[in-house]
Chains A and B, each alone.
Chain A
Amino acid sequence: MHGFADWLAGTGFSRTIQSVSWVIPSLQSIHILMIGVVFVSVLMIALRVLGRMRADQPFEAVWRRFAPWMWTGLLVMAGTGLLLITAEPVREFTALSFWLKMLLLALGVTGTALYGRGLRSQARVATGQFSGGAKAASVLLIVLWLAVIFLGRAIAYDKEVWASFSLHA
């Protein structure tokens, strides 16, 4: 089966599709644009908790402004991501970065949902400064999403990044 896949990928027909097709670059472009929307939305929310952005606005207002963009962006990325996996399954499934990304992605989505819920209730009770735990969680959230983004790009360079740990044969 592997031999068949290799043979198919090497045929002139397959190469032509891969070189003239605008589908994969378009999907990747949308995916990257959405990284911008999602990452900046996360930053705006997290920086608000850290007191570095929109300190004049209540947390609830900042969350309501950016959370819908964040979730919608993530949904679009799930769509383009699934299509990209379908287009190049071997590339994705044989990359350690891909599996690590999926793991951190699951953590990121759950973590962000819990974070939003926790901070909105904390903001309702206490006015002014957030707790140290809330600030630490904000930093952690930024780092977590950064890791997801970097691992996404690293899929293209699995062997260079992971050397002997790479799943590439």
Chain B
Amino acid sequence: MDIPSIIHSIEASAPGEWLRTSVKALPIVESIHVLAAATVFGSVFIVDLRLLGLPDTRRPVTLVSREVLRLTWAAFCVAVLAGMLMFTANAHTYYGNTAFRLKMLALVAAGLNMAIFHAAGLRSVARWDQGAPVPLSGRLAGAIAIVLWVSVICLARWIGFTKGYDFKIPSDTHINFQF
């Protein structure tokens, strides 16, 4: 199965159909997506700032990230679920959209940045967890994460302005005009 036919079957699925035809489903799903995405950014921002030594280095890095990342992951799961529903409703317009593709790239980059920091940068954390400047690798990971998450949100907003609306009726749809 090639990608275009996968995209087509996602869009033709029952959830896709429901999201397109229900009047209130998409606005609600979208609102939840925006709220969850903003929460991901706002909470991860606290950890990234701490890596940059802001507002100070009194609170341990490990503690700041542990307490906040619960919120980040919960919000991230909600954002992904809501985002998948939005994708399902208009799969092929999202798939062909440049801002959408760049957003997915930025998301993958943010994930890689985090994974590399966890695997390598965080190993020496005992030495700089509290009251000491974070080493360059950690500060860099924090700064890169901020740039990437800001990009994700901006690119996401750009999708809404560039994807347009596709009112083309799929060829296998039968319309019954009898009321």
Contact = CB atoms under 8 A, between A and B. Distances in A.
B35 A33 contact: no
A33 B153 contact: yes
A153 B34 contact: yes
Given A65-B55, A150-B31, A161-B27, A37 B45 contact: yes
Interface stretch (B85-93, B122-130, B136-144, B154-162): B154-162
B39 interface: yes
A154 B67 contact: no
A47 B43 CA distance: 13
Interface string A24-41: 111011001101111111
B157 A35 contact: no
A83 interface: no
Contacts of B161: 19, 24-25
A37 B38 CA distance: 8
Interface in A22-61: 24-26, 28-29, 32-33, 35-41, 43-44, 53-54, 57
Count class of interface residues, chain A: 20 to 34
Interface string B12-46: 00000000000110010011001101111111011
A85 interface: no
Interface in B27-75: 27, 30-31, 34-35, 37-43, 45-46, 55, 59, 67, 71
A36 B24 contact: no
A32 B27 contact: no
Interface in A74-122: none
Contacts of B46: 40, 44
Contacts of A154: 27, 31
A53 B30 CA distance: 28
A40 B27 contact: no
A156 interface: yes
- Is chain B's interface secondary structure helix, strand, loop, or mixed overall? helix
Nearest to B159: A25
A53 B67 contact: yes
16 contacts: A19-B161, A25-B154, A29-B158, A35-B34, A35-B38, A40-B46, A43-B71, A65-B55, A146-B35, A149-B34, A153-B27, A153-B31, A153-B34, A153-B35, A154-B31, A160-B23
Give the top 7 A-B pairs by smallest Cβ distance, nearest first.
A40-B42, A36-B42, A36-B38, A157-B27, A36-B41, A153-B31, A35-B38
Interface of B: 23-24, 27, 30-31, 34-35, 37-43, 45-46, 55, 59, 67, 71, 150, 153-154, 157-158, 160-161
Given A65-B55, A149-B38, 18 more contacts: A24-B161, A25-B160, A26-B154, A28-B157, A29-B154, A32-B37, A33-B41, A36-B40, A36-B41, A36-B42, A36-B153, A39-B38, A41-B42, A43-B39, A44-B46, A149-B31, A149-B35, A153-B34
